[in-house]
Structure 1
Amino acid sequence: MTYVKATAVLPEALIQEIQKYVQGETIYIPKPDQTHHRWGTRSGSRKVIDERNASIKSEFKKGTAIHELAEEHFLSTETIKKIIYSK
């Protein structure tokens, strides 16, 4: 996260209004909900993990044991259980 000086991006009137509530502090202004992306959607990581999880569920349905899946995917057995039993 980078910091931006308020004087560089906000009108003076707005800065004065904000100063009624906060002075000399760092505040975080979140993005609007409609611009928020789920983790990994931009980089493609989300797709890779979703595909991996689908593969794990499929292998489990075919009879592969949980401990085998954990070893194959380098995950804990508890993580494999969470993936298998999630909706």
Structure 2
Amino acid sequence: MARYRNAADVLPAELLAAVQRYAAGEQLYIPRGDERLPWGARSGARAELARRNERIRQRRAEGATIEQLMREFHLGYDSIRKIISGKNESSCSRG
């Protein structure tokens, strides 16, 4: 769940007054700016999917069938095929 902070505790008084003129009582999302990270980079999800995909490719190289990989990793046929072929590696799709 998101953690909200009171703007009065964070913003200088003159900036708070300016924001209140435009959005008093509203909930605002304030983006991080230029330090935007790719999906999953901060949480580790991207790295975990990369490790999972590598395990899938290794199991396939060891002789596992696509059907076995589907059951083992709880993924669909198309997702396994994409992982094995290396397609969409930069986006680390969740299959």
The normalised TM-score by structure 2 is: 0.66
Alignment of 1:7-86 (within 5 A): 7-34=8-35, 36=37, 38-39=39-40, 41-42=42-43, 44-61=44-61, 63-85=63-85, 86=87
Distance 1:41 1:83 in 2: 23
Question: RCO greater where, 1 or 2, for CA within 8 Å and sep 6 or more?
Answer: 2
What SS class does the counterpart of residue 20 from structure 1 fall into? helix
Secondary structure of the 1:34 match is: coil
How big is the shift at 1:12? 1.1
Aligned CA distance change for structure 1 residues 82 and 41 (closer, same or farther; 3 Å): farther
Deviates more, 1:25-34 or 1:54-63: 54-63
CA distance in 2, matches of 1:76, 1:30: 35
Identity of aligned residues (%): 33
Q: Which amino acid aligns with 2:50?
A: D
Q: TM-score, normalised by structure 1?
A: 0.71
Aligned partners of 1:21, 1:41: CA distance in 2, in Å?
32
Structure 1 residues 35 and 2: alpha-carbon distance in aligned structure 2, compared to 1, 3 A threshold:
same
